[in-house]
């Protein structure tokens, strides 16, 4: 990960670790269990959850897998993950400090490699996917969960402009077609792709990122402006003075194959 972006991510998630560990988009139990179910995990599998954050997906995998490792570049997030692990009583999980672009594991170590709501922070997404593929066994699976932006280029650009204002560590929320192209580029076959709508409250969304007052005001104005014509693709709505929107997310499962 590029040093500037990496440092920005460490600062952002270190500063807001407590808020992110309680955010509704992260703790959604149905969404978590759906990702685990679609992975096809078994009790003999080894699972790696990259950019694990507070460990939500890693700990959900741990209920069904043999062993699970969660890694992240932000120590404060890992401290929250370790606390959650302690509370859960799950002993088959370990949390490590590590960068997705340089994972400290041998080739073909894991049956499943997952990443949830972090892909849009990676400055070199294909490089990250290649590293995920490297540590994943042949016929193993990559499970990716993240938001997707509109296939309309102008809407996608507007959406990402807002995301960057809210959180400087944001790189890009990709279109579904762009994600499919990246998986094709690394030679992974998408076997399952599900869309999932997640309603968001604007004020909670701002609080979670710790966005400054000035930026919050600008973003609110931009989002209200976008309602007519849905110019962000976020289906922004204003009801009883409360601003909200809907994240289009995907749960993507891809199988790893290698030529002899």
- Return d(Cα 131, Cα 122) in angstroms, integer: 12
**What does the pLDDT read at residue 2?**
46
Q: Residue 242: exposed, middle, or buried by beta-carbon count in 10 A (0-12, 13-18, 19+)? A: exposed
Q: Looking at 140-250, list the stretches that DSSP marks H as alpha helix, in order from N- to C-terminal side.
A: 153-166, 176-185, 202-209, 213-226
CA angle 155, 57, 46 (to 5 degrees): 125
Other residues' Cβ atoms within 10 Å of the Cβ of residue 137? 17
On whether the CB atoms of residues 60 and 40 are closer than 8 A, the answer is no
Predicted pLDDT at 190: 98
Euclidean distance between CA atoms 69 and 51, whole angstroms: 11
CB 100 within 8 A of CB 40: no
Torsion of CA 24, 29, 32, 37, to 10 degrees: -160
> Which pTM was predicted?
0.89
- Strand partners for 49: 70, 114
Cβ burial, residue 39 (10 Å; 0-12/13-18/19+): buried
Residues 6+ apart with CB under 8 A from 40: 141, 253
Positions in the chain short of pLDDT 50: 1-3, 9, 13-15, 17, 19, 23, 26
**Please, what are the domains in the chain?**
3-149+169-199+248-256 (3.40.50.150)
């Amino acid at each position: 990960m590029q040093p500037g972006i990496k440092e920005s991510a460490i600062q952002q998630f270190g500063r807001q670790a407590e808020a992110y560990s309680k955010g509704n988009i992260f703790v959604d139990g149905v969404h978590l269990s759906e990702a685990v179910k679609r992975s096809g995990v078994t009790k003999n599998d080894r699972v790696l959850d990259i950019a694990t954050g507070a460990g939500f997906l890693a700990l959900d995998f741990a209920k069904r897998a043999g062993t699970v490792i969660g890694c992240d570049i932000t120590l404060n997030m890992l401290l929250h993950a370790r606390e959650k692990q302690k509370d859960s009583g799950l002993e088959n999980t370990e949390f490590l400090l590590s960068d997705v672009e340089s994972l400290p594991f041998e080739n073909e170590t894991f049956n499943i490699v997952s990443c949830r709501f972090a892909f849009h922070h990676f400055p070199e997404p294909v490089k990250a996917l290649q590293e995920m593929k490297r540590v994943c066994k042949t016929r193993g699976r990559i499970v990716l969960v993240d938001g997707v932006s509109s296939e309309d280029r102008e809407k996608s650009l507007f959406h990402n402009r807002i995301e960057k204002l809210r959180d400087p560590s944001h790189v890009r929320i990709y279109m579904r077609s762009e994600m499919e192209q990246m998986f094709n580029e690394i030679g992974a076959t998408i076997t399952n792709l599900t869309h999932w709508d997640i309603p968001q409250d604007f004020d909670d969304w701002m609080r979670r990122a710790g966005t400054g007052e000035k930026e919050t005001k600008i973003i609110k104005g931009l989002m209200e402006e976008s309602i007519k014509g849905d110019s962000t693709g976020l289906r922004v709505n204003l009801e009883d003075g409360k601003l909200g929107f809907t994240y289009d997310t995907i749960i993507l499962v891809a199988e790893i194959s290698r030529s002899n």
